[in-house]
Amino acid sequence: MPVLERDLLAAGTLAAARSLLGALLVREADAPGAEPRVGRIVEVEAYIGEDDRASHARFGRTARNGVMYGAPGIAYVYLVYGMYHCLNVVTEPEGTPAAVLVRAVEPVAGVTAMRRARVAFAGRRRRDRAAAEPEQARIALAPPERLAAGPGLVAAAFGLTREHTGLDLLDPRSPVRLERASDEAPEPEIAASPRIGIGYAGEPWTSVPWRLYVPSSPAVSAAARR
DNA sequence: GCAAAGATTTGCT
DNA sequence: GCAAATCTTTGCC
C-alpha cells in the first residue's frame, strides 16, 4: 500500500488522528529471514500545542520534545516510567508542537515477529530475569489481537525505541512507515473519550475527548477500559 | 547537583 | 483496587 499523504497529518491534529485510525503501521523485516510486521491502528490520542497541559510541549521547546515542533509525519518516540516506549506521529505544520500517540494496533501480518519481540522485551524489562518467565509464557499463548493492545505494547511488539525519533514515517523507503488502508477496507467506526493517564494535567485537559478509537476492535487497550 | 514525577503494564491483595 | 518496577527528563536550589 502507498504511504499516507502528508497533507492529512499537516491538517489539524484531531483530523490527523482520524486519518490515522484504520491506517497501517508497517515495519520492514529487520533481519534476514524475518517477516515484516503490519498492524491496523485502532486507538490514538491527540496532544495539541503548548497550552495543552497534558502534552510534553507544555514546558515549551526542550531537548526531548523538539521534534514535535518539526514537520508532520516524523516519529517521536519517548520513554515513559523508565521502561516503556511510546510512538507518536508529529502533526500540524512546522512550528506548531503537536503529535498523535499511537495507543493500540491490531496485528495484520508478522504476528510471529511481534510475539517474539514482546517476549524479548519482557525478558529485558526486569533486572531479575527469572521473574519475567511467567509473563513470557503468557505472551507466548496470548491471542494475536492483544499483542499490541496498548501504547507501550505497540512499541515493544514493533521494536521501537527513542532511536527511531526523527524517522520520516511517510517516506516509502523508511523501515518504519504509515500506509493507507486498502481501498476495500470499510471506514472504521470511531468513538471518542478523554485521554488516559494524564490526571496531572488538570481541567479542561483531563476531560477533552481527544482519545479516538475503533470500539469494535478487540485490540483496544486494556487501560482504556478501566 | 538533587528530587520529583511520569502520555504504562503487570501482579498481588 | 492498589503498588511495584525502572530511569529519563525537568524544574529548582
Q: What is the pLDDT of residues A158-181, one digit of tens each?
A: 999 999 999 999 999 999 999 999
> What does the block give as the cell for A214?
475503533
Angle A111-125/A133-141 helices, nearest 10 degrees? 170
Q: Give the number of C-alpha atoms closer than 13 A to the C-alpha of residue A212, restricted to the C-beta side.
A: 21
Q: Name the phi and psi angles at A102, rounded to 5.
A: -85, 105
Q: What is the pLDDT of residues A89-148, one digit of tens each?
A: 999 999 999 999 999 999 999 999 999 999 999 999 988 888 899 999 999 999 999 999
Instruction: Kindly determine whether the C-beta of residue A222 is less than 7 Å away from any atom of nucleic acid strand C.
Output: no
CA distance A155 to A161: 7
Q: Provide the CA A106 to C1' C4 distance, Å, integer.
A: 29
Average pLDDT over residues A27-40: 95
Hey, is A32 helix, strand or coil? coil
Q: Give the number of C-alpha atoms closer than 13 A to the C-alpha of residue A14, restricted to the C-beta side.
A: 9
CA distance A128 to A14: 41
Q: Which residue is the nearest neighbor of C8, CA to C1'?
A: A82
Q: Which residues contact A128 (CB under 8 A, 6 or more apart)?
A: none
Which of chain C's bases lie under 7 Å from a protein CB? 5-11
Task: Answer whether residue A155 shows pLDDT above 90.
Answer: yes
Length of chain A (residues): 226
Instruction: Kindly determine whether the C-beta of residue A51 is less than 7 Å away from any atom of nucleic acid strand C.
Output: no
Instruction: Look up the pTM and report it.
Output: 0.97
Q: Provide the CA A5 to C1' B9 distance, Å, integer.
A: 33
Q: Provide the CA A81 to C1' B3 distance, Å, integer.
A: 16
